[in-house]
Structure 1
Amino acid sequence: MRARPTIRALVIDDSAYSRQTITRMLAASPLVEVVATARDGEDALRKTLELRPDVVTLDLEMPRMDGFTYLRLVMAQCPTPVIVVSGRGGDADVFKALDLGATDFIEKPTPHATPELESIRD
């Protein structure tokens, strides 16, 4: 019997592959329920305000509204723990995301997902 989920997650990424991979990894934990996914920052902000997830995974490069803008807006309107999962791993991007309120930064998964990403479900 699956334990009742205690952590409600929102997965934000413009890549369908990344959304599916991250969702599958998080859903493998009996303590995590992925309540929604979003493909851009505008959709993500709307879903964050509506669903009030416990944690968000966030890509930085997305159409219509990028991850940095989403971070600024969500921290002002509905502060939520955000883990950035991005291929933009340069120091400047990492520090900018952390300065805007992200709680952690993890490299985006590849076809052979990294142990760091798998650790966020634990």
Structure 2
Amino acid sequence: MQPYDVLVVDDSVFMRKIITDLISGDPALRVVGTAKNGKEAVELVKKLNPHAVTMDIEMPEMNGLDALRAIMNEHPVPVIMLSSLTQEGAAETIKALEWGAVDFVGKPSGSISLDLHKVKQLLLEKLHIAVKTNMRKLSRPAVSKPLLKAPEAGYATFRVK
């Protein structure tokens, strides 16, 4: 069986190398490319057609959230946000999930995480799930709609006790 193709996106050369090495240790996964910013990521997703992408958030030229939005609009592919900003509950994480990311993994110690090996197993598990995700079956609204409508002007609101 052919390994699943993964694109690694991070502005740090050092982090791209560490992430690539972690993923390459799994025989079911193969890193087919790396990108240093969101703009390169969008172009490489179209060119390489990977099964999944790991995406940093803070990058020059085009950040990870803008790249995620472009990828989901132009060439949907499962994206796992891998960033020091993607801690559970963070605004960026929620935005990324709303915009189409399938999951997230937080870098343990900031932008340059020398201890990324601490989340290796978690990252690999999430990548194994991501590469099997059928993005066509996932339907995401283009714009979030509020669950409850605000009352229109001129109408009274009543509370039930």
TM-score, normalising length: structure 1: 0.90
Rounded Cα–Cα distance in structure 1 between residues aligned with 2:8 and 2:62:
15
| Counterpart for residue 114 of structure 2 | 111
Q: How does 1:6-21 map to 2 (within 5 A)?
A: 6-21=3-18
1:121 CA displacement: 2.2
3-state SS of the aligned residue for 2:119?
helix
Rounded Cα–Cα distance in structure 2 between residues aligned with 1:104 and 1:22:
16
Whose strand proportion is higher, 1 or 2?
Answer: 1
Rounded Cα–Cα distance in structure 2 between residues aligned with 1:34 and 1:114:
17
Rounded Cα–Cα distance in structure 2 between residues aligned with 1:112 and 1:14:
17
Question: Does the 8 Å CA contact 2:105/2:123 hold for their aligned counterparts?
Answer: no
3-state SS of the aligned residue for 1:26?
helix
| Counterpart for residue 45 of structure 2 | 48
Question: Does the 8 Å CA contact 2:22/2:117 hold for their aligned counterparts?
Answer: no
Higher relative CO (Cα under 8 Å, sequence separation at least 6) belongs to 1
1:88 CA displacement: 0.9
In the alignment, is residue 26 of structure 1 matched against residue 23 of structure 2? Answer: yes
In the alignment, is residue 39 of structure 1 matched against residue 36 of structure 2? Answer: yes
3-state SS of the aligned residue for 1:97?
helix
Q: Would you identify which runs of 4 or more consecutive aligned residues in structure 1 move more than 6 Å?
A: none
Pick one of 72, 75, 78 that aligns with 2:75.
78
State the structure with more CA Rg: 2
| Root mean square deviation of aligned Cα | 1.5
Rounded Cα–Cα distance in structure 1 between residues aligned with 2:117 and 2:95:
23
1:113 CA displacement: 2.1
Q: Identify unmatched segments of 5+ residues in structure 1.
A: none
| Counterpart for residue 65 of structure 2 | 68
Rounded Cα–Cα distance in structure 2 between residues aligned with 1:95 and 1:121:
21
Task: Evaluate the alpha carbon distance shift between residue 63 and residue 92 of structure 1 in structure 2; reply closer, same or farther with a 3 A threshold.
Answer: same
The number of aligned residues is: 119
Q: Identify unmatched segments of 5+ residues in structure 2.
A: 126-161
Question: Does the 8 Å CA contact 1:5/1:33 hold for their aligned counterparts?
Answer: no
Rounded Cα–Cα distance in structure 2 between residues aligned with 1:105 and 1:79:
17
Question: Does the 8 Å CA contact 1:5/1:30 hold for their aligned counterparts?
Answer: no
Q: Which amino acid aligns with 2:115?
A: H
